[in-house]
Amino acid sequence: MQAGWHQFNVPRVVFGRGTLNKLPEEAALLGGKTAFLLSTPQQTDQLNVIRGLLAGSSVSVAGTFTEATMHTPTGITDKAIAALNAVATLSDNASSSTVIVSIGGGSTIGLGKAMSIRTGLAHICIPTSYAGSEMTPILGETADGRKTTRSDPRILPRTVLYDVDLTGSLPRTMRATSGINALAHAVEALYAQNSTPVVSAMAMEAVKSLSASLPALMADGDAAAEKKAQEDALYGAWLCGMCLGNVSMSIHHKLCHVLGGSFNLPHGETHTAVLPHSLSYVAPKIGSVMAKLAEAFPGSNGDAMTGLNGLLAQLPVKLALKDYGMKEEDIDKAADIALSQPYWSPRPLEREAIREVIRRIWAGEPAR
């Protein structure tokens, strides 16, 4: 074990099936008397379940906002805060007894984080995808078409309720792309500049858990296997979120940030298309990590790239960013942006090599 300084910043976590029912008690633990509920327009059914759950409990519903949007536009946050202000005067003592509750994927959690840092109110997350935002002190916001990201311990949610039952409604494609989005956090944690043996152990457990469960989530007809796979996938995603929140990310997240943010490409799908290419780019510099990854991927035959490609081949995913609307003329622009403020990478970003990586991702050609 490497000697040194280790500090984990993590929220309180309740994990299991039916954990949604713990919301009234968890909100009360934070001093909550009222709750302000957030969702996207697509998840109002799940929000209404919470509304029913809180009715008759010691925590009443102060209000709801159901317009959470990808990339956390600041205009939407302004609108949500106005809706919150209409039901709780934030300078009142009463306001500190209001908790923000976000139910959904990274977009809804992002809105909850943005509201929590602006108001100081406690934030409870109920994640329904595998993206992992609930475990990080990171907030990405868009204003005037530009996405900026910041990290602040006060952004970290106070409590996370992982309810496996809520992931059952994830569409099949999103189970795959959101799962690979999570996997990418663990893969990058293994070669992060500031990684530690503890983070690496979590990352390895996460890779094993997700790479075994994601194909099983696609299998039709075996209800017991699917239930187990749902549990393992959400457990893996939790660990991946902890990796993302506790070490710095590298070339993979940089490329996804550039591609998703600059060309408005879908989040999980972009991570899925980029991962084999980003891993292949750094592979010559991370021999021991590639050997460990090979152990974690079933069917790798001792080669991590074979293992990752084999996993992707079992999932209903598209691997060409041109299929999501990226244009060929954006390749050079993306390479320039990626090189302008690069993150640390075990293999430094070289203009021509990165341009070729981005071209292959755009075209959906295999990594090499």
**Minimal distance, residue 200 CB to ligand NAD, in Å:** 20
Out of 116, 136, 270, 272, point to the residue binding ligand NAD (CB under 6 A): 136
Q: Mark 71-83 as b/e (b = at least 16 C-beta within 10 Å).
A: bbbeebbeebbeb
**CB–CB of 180/312 below 8 Å?**
yes
**CB–CB of 185/241 below 8 Å?**
yes
Out of 62, 166, 243, 247, point to the residue binding ligand NAD (CB under 6 A): 166
* Contacts (CB under 6 A) with ligand NAD, residues 63-82: 70-71
Out of 133, 195, 300, 309, point to the residue binding ligand NAD (CB under 6 A): 133
**Minimal distance, residue 110 CB to ligand NAD, in Å:** 5
d(CA 66, CA 89) in angstroms, rounded, equals: 20
d(CA 8, CA 28) in angstroms, rounded, equals: 25
d(CA 305, CA 287) in angstroms, rounded, equals: 12
Out of 105, 215, 236, 276, point to the residue binding ligand NAD (CB under 6 A): 105
Beta bridge partners, 60, equal 34
The answer to the question of residue 307 lying near ligand NAD (CB under 6 A) is no
* Contacts (CB under 6 A) with ligand NAD, residues 246-305: 267-268
The answer to the question of residue 309 lying near ligand NAD (CB under 6 A) is no
- Interface with ligand NAD by CB under 6 A: which range of 98-106, 187-195, 214-222, 351-359? 98-106
**Minimal distance, residue 163 CB to ligand NAD, in Å:** 10
Residues 6+ apart with CB under 8 A from 6: 196, 198
Number of other CB atoms surrounding residue 225 within 10 Å:
13
For 222, the token pair is: 């075996």
Q: In the complex with ligand NAD, which residue's Cβ is closer, 11 or 268?
A: 268
The answer to the question of residue 107 lying near ligand NAD (CB under 6 A) is yes
C-alpha separations of 5 from 114, 197, 245 in Å: 30, 12, 16
Dump strand ranges (E) for 158-227: 159-163
Out of 34, 95, 102, 167, point to the residue binding ligand NAD (CB under 6 A): 167
The answer to the question of residue 178 lying near ligand NAD (CB under 6 A) is yes
Residues in contact with ligand NAD by the rule CB under 6 A:
40, 42-43, 70-71, 104-108, 110, 128-129, 131-133, 136, 138-140, 166-167, 169-170, 174, 178, 244, 267-268
